Amino acid sequence: MRTSTRRLARAVATALGVVLIGTTLAGPAQAAPTITNPGFESSGSALTGWTVTGTTSAATVAASGAHGGTRRANLWSSGAYTTELRQTVTGLSAGWWTLRVWARSGSATPGQALDVTRIGLEGCGAAWRYQTVPSTEQDDGWVQVAVSAYATGSSCTVSLRTATTVGGAWAHFDDVTLTAGRITRPVRGMDMSSVPKNEAFGAVYRTAGDVAGDPVTILRDAGVNYARLKVWVNPADGFNDKARVLAMARRVDAAGMGLLVDFHYSDTWADPGAQKVPAAWASYDLARLANAVAAHTTDVLTALKNQGTPADMVQIGNEINPGMLVTGGAASGAVSSWSNLGTLLKAGANATRAVQPDAKIVLHLTNLDSGVSTLQWWYSQAQAQGVPFDVIGLSFYGYWHGSLADLQAAATTLLAAFPGKQLAVVETAYGFTTAQDDAHANIFSSASVVPGFPATAAGQASYLRAVQNVVAGLPGNRGLGVFYWEGTWTAVAGSGWDPADPASGNGWENQAVFDFHDRLLQVRWEFAPDPAA
């Protein structure tokens, strides 16, 4: 029944010319309401147009470090304080409105002022809506934070607020706008590839209330609406192959979730450091590799379609910055050329279009820390080769790839360079602790902690919320959403990282969304659906 509902919704959207994923229906264009002194540049009183409540002495205007212009609002006190800047905006028509504010926040004691600053809309005739301003201590970069509310009347009150018990907490605001329309998180995803193997070796998953259950259902109930499943060709441990993916897809579909199929085109992990040719394809030249890619893609997607669980999104390769099928076969080195890589990508993409023409095709890169120009060049080359794709997919781990400001700037640049494309962060994660639950060293350690985001359950939740908000607020509502990577990969003996070594451990359990007692962590709240009107 759920599959039929998804198909009907997709068919209706197609008939209406509506893109289901990542698009918000908008009404007629509406004039932007007037916000007084939105950039805090008024030559009169420092906060002209804004009402200051609470500890009024904490609110000032600074004439340096602005986002735009020369001035910015500043909230700070050496002690605990609650201070709010408020302005009621009138002349609104009924409908959704989105507040966007450039902001920075942090504390004199790094990481000690988590989630104390927020922007919001209230008095719109509906419930207050707010968004937390994330810490920007990593690089002190400006991040545009956005939140939407539904107005039933003709006015809304803009609120910029810090409430903290920590002395030295600070927040900066600049360039406030209120425009018609709504931002959403169409994809609130989870990579669940590890679930079958974990369960086979005895993993147990529990709700936050300590009740054991199906992890797919537990995550669905928290609000996860998309699953990402990786596919290997002939893995040594028999997991993440076609049969296992088909079984998992049935569970995902039964939960009413969308499905992203992540083809690695390998027998094991594919990433920038390893794009290994499957053993069965080792002797193939480029033409045979392309045929194998097409056949494998067709086989898996056809089987998914035939069992009534079609893919909604398809990823052609995983973190393919250096190419695909690069090492370990007769064609090693040859596929590093763009002509050859284009041949392989088109083989996978065209096979996808043939089997599942309405599925969105994702090309997935990482290494944002190398500069957005490198990523832009890569996607330009893919376009030049005639590779069809719909979604720019990025990995973003803040302890490797840069700050939230870096992500926002890069994503905005990429969307501007590729009109008509959408963008998703298809991998992100963060640690809820620096401890480990097995003998295998973890990837996320004390050295990985991003300034402003402690390695706690609250820090993990805050980090995911911040990444989601960056993507949701991208121009033109072209941000699809975020997939949390391998949030179900808890520490279970036998379910290690190496498919060829049953004794290998798990270096990821402290970034899972279940704690060391198997209970769902507070990051669950960040998957809740967007509010209705």
Q: Long-range pairs for 502-506 at CB < 8 Å and ≥24 separation?
A: 502/237, 504/440, 505/438, 505/439, 505/440, 506/438, 506/440
- Selecting among 84, 122, 137, 427, the annotated active-site residue is 427
What secondary structure does DSSP assign to 170-199, as a single string?
Answer: EEEEEEEEEEES----SEEEEE-TTHHHHH
The strand ranges marked E within 376-449 are 391-395, 422-428
> Is there a catalytic annotation at residue 427?
yes
* DSSP strand pairing (169-180 vs 95-107): antiparallel
- Is 381 in a helix, a strand, or coil? helix
Residue identified by tokens 């420092």 is: 46
> Is there a catalytic annotation at residue 509?
no
Q: Give the CA angle between residues 513, 514, 516 to the nearest 5°.
A: 130
Calpha distance 192→187 (Å, rounded): 14
Structure tokens at 59: 């609110």
- Selecting among 84, 137, 319, 486, the annotated active-site residue is 319
Calpha distance 70→412 (Å, rounded): 24
Calpha distance 70→39 (Å, rounded): 9
Positive/negative CA dihedral, 256, 262, 265, 268: negative
Calpha distance 445→343 (Å, rounded): 40
Calpha distance 511→489 (Å, rounded): 8
Q: Which residues are catalytic?
A: 319, 427
